[in-house]
Structure 1
Amino acid sequence: MKFRAKIIDVGCLNHFTRVVNTVSKLSKACVLRLTCDHLFFVLSGKVASGGVSMWCELAQVNFFDEFQLEGVSADANEIFLELAPENLSRALKTAQNARSVKIKLTKKNCPCLTLAAELPSLSGVSRVVTHDIPVDVIPRRLWHDFREPQMPDYDVSIYLPPLKTMKSVVDRMKNLSNYLVMEANLNGEMNLKIETDLVSVTTHFKELGNPPWGEDGSQSTSASHRDSEFMAQTRLDIRKLQQFLTGQQVNPSRAMCNIVHNRILHLIFLHEDVSLQYFIPAVV
Protein backbone atom coordinates (compact mmCIF):
# COMPACT_ATOMS: atom_id res chain seq x y z
CA MET A 1 0.00 0.00 0.00
CA LYS A 2 1.66 3.19 -1.23
CA PHE A 3 0.66 6.77 -1.90
CA ARG A 4 2.69 9.76 -3.01
CA ALA A 5 1.71 13.00 -4.72
CA LYS A 6 3.28 16.34 -5.58
CA ILE A 7 1.92 19.84 -6.15
CA ILE A 8 4.06 22.44 -7.92
CA ASP A 9 1.58 24.98 -9.26
CA VAL A 10 0.87 27.63 -6.61
CA GLY A 11 -2.69 28.14 -7.84
CA CYS A 12 -3.44 24.44 -7.40
CA LEU A 13 -1.83 24.50 -3.95
CA ASN A 14 -3.94 27.46 -2.84
CA HIS A 15 -7.12 25.88 -4.20
CA PHE A 16 -6.38 22.56 -2.46
CA THR A 17 -5.69 24.46 0.77
CA ARG A 18 -9.07 26.22 0.53
CA VAL A 19 -10.85 22.91 0.10
CA VAL A 20 -9.05 21.37 3.10
CA ASN A 21 -9.79 24.49 5.16
CA THR A 22 -13.48 24.11 4.35
CA VAL A 23 -13.47 20.46 5.39
CA SER A 24 -11.62 21.30 8.62
CA LYS A 25 -14.36 23.80 9.56
CA LEU A 26 -17.05 21.16 9.10
CA SER A 27 -15.57 18.20 10.93
CA LYS A 28 -12.98 17.42 13.59
CA ALA A 29 -12.37 14.02 12.01
CA CYS A 30 -13.14 12.60 8.59
CA VAL A 31 -12.09 9.87 6.19
CA LEU A 32 -9.83 10.60 3.23
CA ARG A 33 -10.54 8.14 0.43
CA LEU A 34 -7.82 7.92 -2.21
CA THR A 35 -8.32 6.43 -5.67
CA CYS A 36 -6.25 6.72 -8.85
CA ASP A 37 -8.46 9.50 -10.19
CA HIS A 38 -10.04 11.20 -7.19
CA LEU A 39 -9.72 12.23 -3.57
CA PHE A 40 -12.75 12.20 -1.30
CA PHE A 41 -13.24 13.75 2.12
CA VAL A 42 -16.06 11.85 3.81
CA LEU A 43 -17.98 12.47 7.01
CA SER A 44 -20.44 9.65 7.53
CA GLY A 45 -22.74 10.90 10.26
CA LYS A 46 -25.83 8.97 11.23
CA VAL A 47 -28.64 11.23 10.01
CA ALA A 48 -31.18 9.17 11.92
CA SER A 49 -29.50 10.12 15.19
CA GLY A 50 -29.13 13.79 14.28
CA GLY A 51 -25.63 13.74 12.80
CA VAL A 52 -24.57 15.61 9.68
CA SER A 53 -22.77 13.92 6.80
CA MET A 54 -20.48 15.24 4.08
CA TRP A 55 -19.10 14.12 0.74
CA CYS A 56 -16.38 16.24 -0.91
CA GLU A 57 -14.97 15.02 -4.23
CA LEU A 58 -11.84 16.31 -6.00
CA ALA A 59 -10.42 15.26 -9.36
CA GLN A 60 -6.72 14.68 -8.59
CA VAL A 61 -5.54 15.68 -12.08
CA ASN A 62 -6.69 19.25 -11.42
CA PHE A 63 -4.52 19.60 -8.31
CA PHE A 64 -1.47 17.35 -8.51
CA ASP A 65 1.48 17.34 -10.89
CA GLU A 66 2.41 13.84 -9.78
CA PHE A 67 0.08 11.23 -8.29
CA GLN A 68 0.94 7.57 -7.58
CA LEU A 69 -1.26 5.10 -5.75
CA GLU A 70 -1.04 1.43 -4.93
CA GLY A 71 -4.09 0.31 -2.98
CA VAL A 72 -4.60 -2.61 -0.66
CA SER A 73 -4.87 -5.05 -3.59
CA ALA A 74 -5.13 -5.21 -7.37
CA ASP A 75 -8.93 -5.52 -7.25
CA ALA A 76 -9.28 -2.76 -4.64
CA ASN A 77 -6.90 -0.04 -5.71
CA GLU A 78 -8.00 2.40 -3.02
CA ILE A 79 -6.84 3.62 0.39
CA PHE A 80 -9.10 4.87 3.19
CA LEU A 81 -7.50 6.99 5.93
CA GLU A 82 -9.11 8.57 8.97
CA LEU A 83 -7.52 11.88 9.98
CA ALA A 84 -8.10 15.24 11.63
CA PRO A 85 -8.47 17.68 8.70
CA GLU A 86 -7.36 20.55 10.94
CA ASN A 87 -3.89 18.96 11.10
CA LEU A 88 -3.70 18.84 7.31
CA SER A 89 -4.97 22.41 7.10
CA ARG A 90 -2.28 23.67 9.48
CA ALA A 91 0.45 21.90 7.54
CA LEU A 92 -0.74 23.41 4.25
CA LYS A 93 -0.81 26.91 5.74
CA THR A 94 2.97 26.72 6.27
CA ALA A 95 3.41 25.83 2.60
CA GLN A 96 1.68 28.74 0.90
CA ASN A 97 4.87 30.09 -0.70
CA ALA A 98 6.41 26.69 -1.33
CA ARG A 99 8.15 25.76 -4.57
CA SER A 100 6.58 22.35 -4.26
CA VAL A 101 4.66 20.22 -1.77
CA LYS A 102 5.05 16.46 -1.56
CA ILE A 103 2.50 14.29 0.25
CA LYS A 104 3.07 10.61 0.92
CA LEU A 105 1.87 7.82 3.15
CA THR A 106 4.60 6.84 5.59
CA LYS A 107 5.12 4.61 8.59
CA LYS A 108 6.63 6.39 11.59
CA ASN A 109 5.58 5.41 15.12
CA CYS A 110 2.17 5.12 13.47
CA PRO A 111 0.84 5.53 9.92
CA CYS A 112 1.21 9.15 8.79
CA LEU A 113 0.55 11.42 5.88
CA THR A 114 3.89 13.16 5.57
CA LEU A 115 3.78 16.59 3.96
CA ALA A 116 7.13 18.05 2.84
CA ALA A 117 7.12 21.67 1.65
CA GLU A 118 10.14 23.03 -0.20
CA LEU A 119 10.37 26.67 0.81
CA PRO A 120 12.51 29.36 -0.84
CA SER A 121 15.18 31.17 1.18
CA LEU A 122 17.25 34.33 0.74
CA SER A 123 20.44 32.30 0.65
CA GLY A 124 19.28 30.44 -2.42
CA VAL A 125 19.39 27.14 -0.56
CA SER A 126 15.92 25.67 -0.30
CA ARG A 127 14.51 24.62 3.05
CA VAL A 128 12.22 21.65 3.49
CA VAL A 129 9.59 21.79 6.23
CA THR A 130 8.08 18.41 7.07
CA HIS A 131 4.82 17.64 8.86
CA ASP A 132 3.80 14.15 9.96
CA ILE A 133 0.02 13.92 10.22
CA PRO A 134 -1.15 10.80 12.11
CA VAL A 135 -3.79 8.72 10.31
CA ASP A 136 -5.68 5.51 10.92
CA VAL A 137 -5.90 3.09 8.01
CA ILE A 138 -9.52 1.96 7.56
CA PRO A 139 -9.73 -1.82 6.94
CA ARG A 140 -11.43 -2.94 3.76
CA ARG A 141 -14.34 -4.56 5.61
CA LEU A 142 -15.48 -1.10 6.74
CA TRP A 143 -15.21 0.67 3.38
CA HIS A 144 -18.92 0.32 2.66
CA ASP A 145 -19.61 2.83 5.46
CA PHE A 146 -17.88 5.57 3.44
CA ARG A 147 -19.43 5.28 -0.02
CA GLU A 148 -21.08 8.21 -1.80
CA PRO A 149 -24.50 8.94 -0.29
CA GLN A 150 -27.45 8.60 -2.61
CA MET A 151 -29.33 11.72 -3.55
CA PRO A 152 -32.52 11.67 -1.47
CA ASP A 153 -35.95 11.51 -3.10
CA TYR A 154 -36.47 15.20 -2.48
CA ASP A 155 -39.64 17.28 -2.61
CA VAL A 156 -38.02 20.50 -3.83
CA SER A 157 -34.67 21.36 -5.40
CA ILE A 158 -33.69 25.03 -5.63
CA TYR A 159 -30.67 27.24 -6.31
CA LEU A 160 -29.41 29.11 -3.25
CA PRO A 161 -29.27 32.91 -3.02
CA PRO A 162 -25.83 34.63 -2.83
CA LEU A 163 -24.02 32.82 -0.03
CA LYS A 164 -22.79 36.00 1.69
CA THR A 165 -26.37 37.26 1.86
CA MET A 166 -27.62 33.94 3.18
CA LYS A 167 -24.85 33.76 5.78
CA SER A 168 -25.62 37.31 6.97
CA VAL A 169 -29.30 36.41 7.45
CA VAL A 170 -28.49 33.18 9.30
CA ASP A 171 -25.94 34.94 11.54
CA ARG A 172 -28.58 37.43 12.63
CA MET A 173 -31.27 34.83 13.13
CA LYS A 174 -28.93 32.77 15.33
CA ASN A 175 -29.08 35.56 17.91
CA LEU A 176 -32.85 35.07 18.16
CA SER A 177 -33.33 31.30 18.09
CA ASN A 178 -31.53 27.96 18.08
CA TYR A 179 -33.70 26.66 15.26
CA LEU A 180 -34.48 27.77 11.72
CA VAL A 181 -37.07 26.63 9.21
CA MET A 182 -35.91 26.55 5.59
CA GLU A 183 -38.67 26.18 3.03
CA ALA A 184 -38.83 26.37 -0.76
CA ASN A 185 -41.08 25.56 -3.70
CA LEU A 186 -40.81 24.78 -7.40
CA ASN A 187 -41.41 28.41 -8.34
CA GLY A 188 -37.93 29.43 -7.24
CA GLU A 189 -39.07 30.85 -3.91
CA MET A 190 -37.27 30.22 -0.62
CA ASN A 191 -37.92 31.43 2.92
CA LEU A 192 -35.79 31.36 6.05
CA LYS A 193 -37.96 31.57 9.16
CA ILE A 194 -37.63 31.58 12.91
CA GLU A 195 -40.50 31.58 15.37
CA THR A 196 -40.25 31.96 19.12
CA ASP A 197 -42.65 33.03 21.85
CA LEU A 198 -41.34 36.57 21.49
CA VAL A 199 -40.63 37.05 17.80
CA SER A 200 -41.41 35.73 14.34
CA VAL A 201 -39.01 36.63 11.50
CA THR A 202 -39.07 35.55 7.85
CA THR A 203 -36.65 36.41 5.05
CA HIS A 204 -38.01 35.86 1.53
CA PHE A 205 -36.01 35.04 -1.60
CA LYS A 206 -37.64 34.95 -5.05
CA GLU A 207 -36.70 33.99 -8.61
CA LEU A 208 -33.87 31.72 -7.49
CA GLY A 209 -34.61 29.06 -10.07
CA ASN A 210 -35.02 25.31 -9.75
CA PRO A 211 -32.27 23.08 -11.20
CA PRO A 212 -33.26 20.27 -13.56
CA TRP A 213 -31.90 16.91 -12.49
CA GLY A 214 -31.35 13.86 -14.63
CA GLU A 215 -30.54 13.56 -18.32
CA ASP A 216 -34.15 14.26 -19.28
CA GLY A 217 -34.27 17.36 -17.05
CA SER A 218 -36.87 15.75 -14.79
CA GLN A 219 -37.30 16.37 -11.10
CA SER A 220 -37.41 13.56 -8.55
CA THR A 221 -40.45 11.32 -8.16
CA SER A 222 -41.66 13.33 -5.20
CA ALA A 223 -41.01 16.71 -6.79
CA SER A 224 -42.64 15.81 -10.11
CA HIS A 225 -46.00 15.28 -8.39
CA ARG A 226 -45.85 18.43 -6.28
CA ASP A 227 -47.91 21.57 -6.72
CA SER A 228 -45.39 24.24 -7.72
CA GLU A 229 -46.70 26.41 -4.88
CA PHE A 230 -46.12 23.74 -2.24
CA MET A 231 -43.52 24.82 0.32
CA ALA A 232 -41.35 21.87 1.34
CA GLN A 233 -39.69 22.68 4.63
CA THR A 234 -37.11 21.42 7.07
CA ARG A 235 -36.56 22.60 10.65
CA LEU A 236 -32.82 22.75 11.38
CA ASP A 237 -30.37 23.31 14.17
CA ILE A 238 -29.31 26.78 13.07
CA ARG A 239 -25.75 26.23 14.32
CA LYS A 240 -25.18 23.41 11.81
CA LEU A 241 -26.29 25.57 8.90
CA GLN A 242 -24.23 28.51 10.14
CA GLN A 243 -21.16 26.29 10.54
CA PHE A 244 -21.48 25.15 6.94
CA LEU A 245 -21.92 28.68 5.55
CA THR A 246 -19.11 30.09 7.70
CA GLY A 247 -16.61 27.35 6.85
CA GLN A 248 -17.03 27.12 3.10
CA GLN A 249 -14.13 28.44 1.02
CA VAL A 250 -14.83 26.50 -2.16
CA ASN A 251 -16.36 29.55 -3.92
CA PRO A 252 -18.83 27.44 -5.90
CA SER A 253 -19.98 28.30 -9.39
CA ARG A 254 -23.33 26.76 -8.49
CA ALA A 255 -24.92 26.33 -5.05
CA MET A 256 -28.22 24.55 -4.55
CA CYS A 257 -30.14 22.50 -2.06
CA ASN A 258 -32.64 19.66 -2.00
CA ILE A 259 -35.31 19.53 0.68
CA VAL A 260 -36.95 16.33 1.85
CA HIS A 261 -40.03 17.61 3.63
CA ASN A 262 -39.52 17.54 7.41
CA ARG A 263 -36.53 15.18 7.07
CA ILE A 264 -33.29 16.41 5.43
CA LEU A 265 -31.63 19.46 3.93
CA HIS A 266 -29.14 18.40 1.24
CA LEU A 267 -26.73 21.21 0.29
CA ILE A 268 -24.68 20.95 -2.91
CA PHE A 269 -21.78 23.21 -3.91
CA LEU A 270 -20.27 22.70 -7.35
CA HIS A 271 -16.96 24.07 -8.59
CA GLU A 272 -15.33 23.12 -11.89
CA ASP A 273 -13.08 20.60 -10.13
CA VAL A 274 -14.68 20.16 -6.69
CA SER A 275 -18.11 19.05 -5.53
CA LEU A 276 -19.24 19.31 -1.91
CA GLN A 277 -22.40 17.72 -0.53
CA TYR A 278 -23.61 18.31 3.01
CA PHE A 279 -26.60 16.68 4.69
CA ILE A 280 -28.31 18.29 7.70
CA PRO A 281 -31.09 16.27 9.34
CA ALA A 282 -34.33 17.88 10.46
CA VAL A 283 -35.12 18.37 14.14
CA VAL A 284 -38.58 17.99 15.59
Structure 2
Amino acid sequence: MRFRAKIVDLGCLNHFTRVSNTISKLAKTCTLRLSPDKLYFILSDKVANGGVSMWCELAQPSLSSSSRIVTHDIPVGVIPRKLWTDFREPTVPDFDVSIYLPVLKTMKSVVERMKNISNHVVIEANLKGEMNLKIETDLVCITTHFKDLGNPSWASEDASQDRDSENMAEARIDIKKLLQFLAGQQVNPTKALCNIVHNRIVHFILLHEDVSLQYFIPALS
Protein backbone atom coordinates (compact mmCIF):
# COMPACT_ATOMS: atom_id res chain seq x y z
CA MET A 1 0.00 0.00 0.00
CA ARG A 2 1.15 3.54 -0.70
CA PHE A 3 0.50 6.77 1.14
CA ARG A 4 0.07 9.95 -0.92
CA ALA A 5 0.48 13.32 0.80
CA LYS A 6 -0.08 16.83 -0.54
CA ILE A 7 1.77 19.82 0.86
CA VAL A 8 0.25 23.06 -0.33
CA ASP A 9 2.97 25.55 0.52
CA LEU A 10 6.66 25.43 -0.34
CA GLY A 11 7.60 26.94 3.01
CA CYS A 12 5.66 24.16 4.71
CA LEU A 13 7.39 21.64 2.45
CA ASN A 14 10.83 22.85 3.57
CA HIS A 15 9.68 22.74 7.18
CA PHE A 16 8.28 19.23 6.76
CA THR A 17 11.52 18.15 5.08
CA ARG A 18 13.63 19.35 8.01
CA VAL A 19 11.42 17.49 10.46
CA SER A 20 11.37 14.28 8.40
CA ASN A 21 15.15 14.43 7.94
CA THR A 22 15.52 14.71 11.70
CA ILE A 23 13.26 11.70 12.19
CA SER A 24 15.21 9.69 9.61
CA LYS A 25 18.39 10.19 11.66
CA LEU A 26 16.68 8.79 14.74
CA ALA A 27 14.87 5.77 13.30
CA LYS A 28 14.86 3.65 10.13
CA THR A 29 11.08 3.29 10.36
CA CYS A 30 8.44 5.03 12.43
CA THR A 31 4.69 5.26 12.80
CA LEU A 32 2.85 8.20 11.23
CA ARG A 33 -0.45 9.15 12.84
CA LEU A 34 -2.75 11.62 11.10
CA SER A 35 -5.33 13.95 12.57
CA PRO A 36 -7.17 16.96 11.08
CA ASP A 37 -4.73 19.44 12.63
CA LYS A 38 -1.51 17.54 13.39
CA LEU A 39 0.94 14.92 12.14
CA TYR A 40 2.55 12.61 14.68
CA PHE A 41 5.80 10.71 14.15
CA ILE A 42 6.10 7.90 16.68
CA LEU A 43 8.90 5.51 17.63
CA SER A 44 7.72 3.20 20.38
CA ASP A 45 10.62 0.88 21.18
CA LYS A 46 10.22 -0.45 24.69
CA VAL A 47 12.28 1.78 26.95
CA ALA A 48 12.11 -0.89 29.65
CA ASN A 49 14.01 -3.22 27.30
CA GLY A 50 16.70 -0.67 26.49
CA GLY A 51 15.11 0.88 23.42
CA VAL A 52 14.65 4.57 22.79
CA SER A 53 11.23 6.15 22.33
CA MET A 54 10.18 9.22 20.36
CA TRP A 55 7.07 11.37 19.97
CA CYS A 56 7.05 14.24 17.48
CA GLU A 57 4.11 16.55 16.74
CA LEU A 58 3.89 18.76 13.66
CA ALA A 59 0.95 21.12 13.13
CA GLN A 60 -0.71 20.91 9.72
CA PRO A 61 -1.02 24.23 7.87
CA SER A 62 -4.31 25.60 6.64
CA LEU A 63 -4.98 25.04 2.93
CA SER A 64 -4.42 27.81 0.41
CA SER A 65 -5.87 27.65 -3.10
CA SER A 66 -3.03 29.78 -4.51
CA SER A 67 -0.26 27.51 -3.27
CA ARG A 68 1.58 24.92 -5.33
CA ILE A 69 0.92 21.27 -4.60
CA VAL A 70 3.73 18.74 -4.20
CA THR A 71 2.81 15.05 -4.28
CA HIS A 72 4.98 12.11 -3.23
CA ASP A 73 4.10 8.41 -2.90
CA ILE A 74 5.52 6.52 0.08
CA PRO A 75 5.07 2.76 0.70
CA VAL A 76 3.38 2.16 4.04
CA GLY A 77 1.80 -0.53 6.17
CA VAL A 78 -1.51 0.25 7.84
CA ILE A 79 -1.78 -0.41 11.59
CA PRO A 80 -4.99 -2.22 12.61
CA ARG A 81 -7.34 -0.19 14.78
CA LYS A 82 -7.02 -2.70 17.64
CA LEU A 83 -3.32 -1.74 17.99
CA TRP A 84 -3.82 2.03 18.00
CA THR A 85 -3.57 2.22 21.78
CA ASP A 86 0.07 1.05 21.49
CA PHE A 87 0.91 4.36 19.81
CA ARG A 88 -0.29 6.91 22.31
CA GLU A 89 1.88 9.72 23.64
CA PRO A 90 4.37 8.27 26.14
CA THR A 91 3.83 9.09 29.77
CA VAL A 92 6.66 10.93 31.49
CA PRO A 93 7.63 9.71 34.97
CA ASP A 94 7.97 12.34 37.69
CA PHE A 95 11.42 13.74 36.98
CA ASP A 96 13.97 14.77 39.60
CA VAL A 97 15.51 17.62 37.58
CA SER A 98 14.44 19.64 34.55
CA ILE A 99 17.02 21.89 32.89
CA TYR A 100 17.54 23.84 29.67
CA LEU A 101 20.17 22.33 27.39
CA PRO A 102 23.28 24.18 26.22
CA VAL A 103 23.70 24.98 22.52
CA LEU A 104 23.13 21.62 20.80
CA LYS A 105 26.09 22.02 18.43
CA THR A 106 28.39 22.57 21.41
CA MET A 107 26.95 19.59 23.23
CA LYS A 108 27.30 17.44 20.09
CA SER A 109 30.95 18.42 19.71
CA VAL A 110 31.68 17.38 23.31
CA VAL A 111 29.87 14.05 22.97
CA GLU A 112 31.64 13.26 19.68
CA ARG A 113 35.01 13.53 21.41
CA MET A 114 33.83 11.48 24.36
CA LYS A 115 32.54 8.72 22.06
CA ASN A 116 36.11 7.88 21.09
CA ILE A 117 36.92 7.04 24.71
CA SER A 118 33.81 5.35 26.14
CA ASN A 119 30.55 3.69 25.08
CA HIS A 120 28.64 5.33 27.90
CA VAL A 121 28.15 8.82 29.26
CA VAL A 122 26.71 10.08 32.52
CA ILE A 123 24.47 13.11 32.19
CA GLU A 124 23.73 14.88 35.44
CA ALA A 125 22.04 18.15 36.38
CA ASN A 126 20.64 20.05 39.33
CA LEU A 127 18.13 22.80 40.09
CA LYS A 128 20.80 25.53 39.95
CA GLY A 129 21.15 25.42 36.17
CA GLU A 130 24.24 23.20 36.22
CA MET A 131 24.77 20.17 33.98
CA ASN A 132 27.73 17.83 33.58
CA LEU A 133 28.66 15.24 30.97
CA LYS A 134 31.01 12.59 32.35
CA ILE A 135 32.81 9.53 31.10
CA GLU A 136 34.76 7.17 33.33
CA THR A 137 37.07 4.34 32.33
CA ASP A 138 39.81 2.42 34.10
CA LEU A 139 42.33 4.87 32.67
CA VAL A 140 40.61 8.25 32.58
CA CYS A 141 37.77 10.32 33.98
CA ILE A 142 36.60 13.32 31.93
CA THR A 143 33.90 15.81 32.86
CA THR A 144 32.52 18.76 30.88
CA HIS A 145 30.69 21.36 32.97
CA PHE A 146 27.87 23.65 31.83
CA LYS A 147 26.66 26.45 34.10
CA ASP A 148 23.90 29.06 34.15
CA LEU A 149 21.66 27.03 31.85
CA GLY A 150 18.53 27.80 33.81
CA ASN A 151 15.68 25.60 34.97
CA PRO A 152 12.10 25.80 33.66
CA SER A 153 9.63 27.39 36.05
CA TRP A 154 7.84 24.10 36.63
CA ALA A 155 11.11 22.57 37.87
CA SER A 156 11.14 24.67 41.02
CA GLU A 157 7.38 24.34 41.47
CA ASP A 158 7.38 20.54 41.21
CA ALA A 159 10.65 19.89 43.01
CA SER A 160 10.43 18.06 46.27
CA GLN A 161 10.67 20.38 49.27
CA ASP A 162 13.43 18.28 50.79
CA ARG A 163 15.59 18.20 47.63
CA ASP A 164 18.74 20.30 47.81
CA SER A 165 18.98 22.47 44.68
CA GLU A 166 22.68 21.59 44.36
CA ASN A 167 22.13 17.83 44.43
CA MET A 168 22.66 16.20 41.04
CA ALA A 169 20.22 13.79 39.42
CA GLU A 170 22.01 11.56 36.96
CA ALA A 171 21.60 8.77 34.45
CA ARG A 172 24.21 6.67 32.64
CA ILE A 173 23.17 6.22 29.02
CA ASP A 174 24.42 4.81 25.72
CA ILE A 175 26.63 7.52 24.22
CA LYS A 176 25.82 6.47 20.64
CA LYS A 177 22.11 6.98 21.25
CA LEU A 178 22.77 10.44 22.67
CA LEU A 179 25.00 11.37 19.73
CA GLN A 180 22.41 10.06 17.27
CA PHE A 181 19.85 12.39 18.82
CA LEU A 182 22.19 15.40 18.75
CA ALA A 183 23.54 14.75 15.25
CA GLY A 184 20.11 14.44 13.66
CA GLN A 185 18.66 17.80 14.67
CA GLN A 186 17.54 20.02 11.82
CA VAL A 187 14.52 21.69 13.41
CA ASN A 188 16.60 24.47 15.06
CA PRO A 189 14.63 24.45 18.33
CA THR A 190 13.87 27.68 20.12
CA LYS A 191 13.83 25.73 23.40
CA ALA A 192 15.64 22.51 24.28
CA LEU A 193 15.12 20.86 27.64
CA CYS A 194 16.29 17.77 29.48
CA ASN A 195 14.38 15.98 32.24
CA ILE A 196 16.20 13.38 34.32
CA VAL A 197 14.65 10.64 36.40
CA HIS A 198 17.55 9.58 38.61
CA ASN A 199 19.14 6.35 37.33
CA ARG A 200 16.06 5.60 35.20
CA ILE A 201 15.61 7.74 32.11
CA VAL A 202 16.65 10.90 30.28
CA HIS A 203 13.83 12.76 28.51
CA PHE A 204 14.67 15.41 25.91
CA ILE A 205 12.18 17.97 24.60
CA LEU A 206 12.77 20.18 21.55
CA LEU A 207 10.33 22.99 20.74
CA HIS A 208 10.18 25.14 17.62
CA GLU A 209 7.06 27.04 16.60
CA ASP A 210 4.59 24.33 15.52
CA VAL A 211 6.94 21.38 16.16
CA SER A 212 7.59 19.52 19.39
CA LEU A 213 9.83 16.48 19.66
CA GLN A 214 10.26 14.25 22.70
CA TYR A 215 13.04 11.68 22.90
CA PHE A 216 13.53 9.14 25.69
CA ILE A 217 16.81 7.32 26.41
CA PRO A 218 16.73 4.70 29.20
CA ALA A 219 19.46 4.59 31.83
CA LEU A 220 21.89 1.68 31.89
CA SER A 221 22.31 -0.39 34.99
- Establish whether TM, by shorter chain, passes 0.5: yes
Q: Which residue of 2 aligns with 1:204?
A: 145
RMSD (CA atoms) = 1.9
- Equivalence map 1:148-227=2 (5 Å): 148-213=89-154, 218-219=157-158, 223-227=160-164
TM-score by length of 2: 0.93
Q: Which residue of 2 aligns with 1:280?
A: 217
How many Å separate the matches in 1 of 2:158 and 2:179?
28
Identity %, equivalent residues:
71
Letter in 1 for 2:70: V
Contact 1:218/1:224 (<8 A) preserved: no
2:2 is equivalent to residue 33 of structure 1? no
Cα offset for 1:151?
Answer: 2.2
Contact 2:12/2:61 (<8 A) preserved: no
Aligned residues: 218
Summarize deviations over 1:127-182 as a string: whole Å, max 9, x none: xxxxx321111111101110011222000000000001000000000001000000
How many Å separate the matches in 2 of 1:101 and 1:201?
49
Summarize deviations over 1:89-130 as a string: whole Å, max 9, x none: xxxxxxxxx95313xxxxxxxxxxxx1xxxxxxxxxxxxxxx
Letter in 2 for 1:283: L
How many Å separate the matches in 2 of 1:18 and 1:257?
22
- Which structure: larger Rg? 1
Ranked by relative contact order (alpha carbons within 8 Å, sequence separation 6 or more), the top structure is 2
2:106 is equivalent to residue 137 of structure 1? no
Cα offset for 1:37?
Answer: 1.1
Summarize deviations over 1:248-278 as a string: whole Å, max 9, x none: 1110000001000000000000011000000
Letter in 2 for 1:219: D
Cα offset for 1:206?
Answer: 0.4
Contact 1:163/1:245 (<8 A) preserved: yes
What residue ranges of structure 2 are gaps of 5+ in the alignment?
none
- Equivalence map 1:68-147=2 (5 Å): 99-102=68-71, 115=72, 132-147=73-88
Letter in 2 for 1:244: F
Q: Which residue of 2 aligns with 1:93?
A: none
1:40 match: secondary structure: strand
Contact 2:126/2:166 (<8 A) preserved: yes
How many Å separate the matches in 2 of 1:159 and 1:43?
24
Q: 1:256 to 1:139 in 2, by over 3 A?
A: same
Q: Structure 1 runs of 4+ off > 4 angstroms?
A: none
Q: 1:11 to 1:224 in 2, by over 3 A?
A: farther
Letter in 2 for 1:278: Y
1:16 match: secondary structure: helix
What residue ranges of structure 1 are gaps of 5+ in the alignment?
67-97, 103-114, 116-131
Contact 1:5/1:65 (<8 A) preserved: no
TM-score by length of 1: 0.73
Summarize deviations over 1:42-77 as a string: whole Å, max 9, x none: 000101100000000011126x648xxxxxxxxxxx
Q: Which residue of 1 aligns with 2:60?
A: 60
Q: Which residue of 2 aligns with 1:10?
A: 10
Cα offset for 1:225?
Answer: 4.0
2:178 match: secondary structure: helix
Contact 1:232/1:261 (<8 A) preserved: yes
Contact 2:4/2:74 (<8 A) preserved: no
1:170 match: secondary structure: helix
How many Å separate the matches in 2 of 1:224 and 1:52?
31
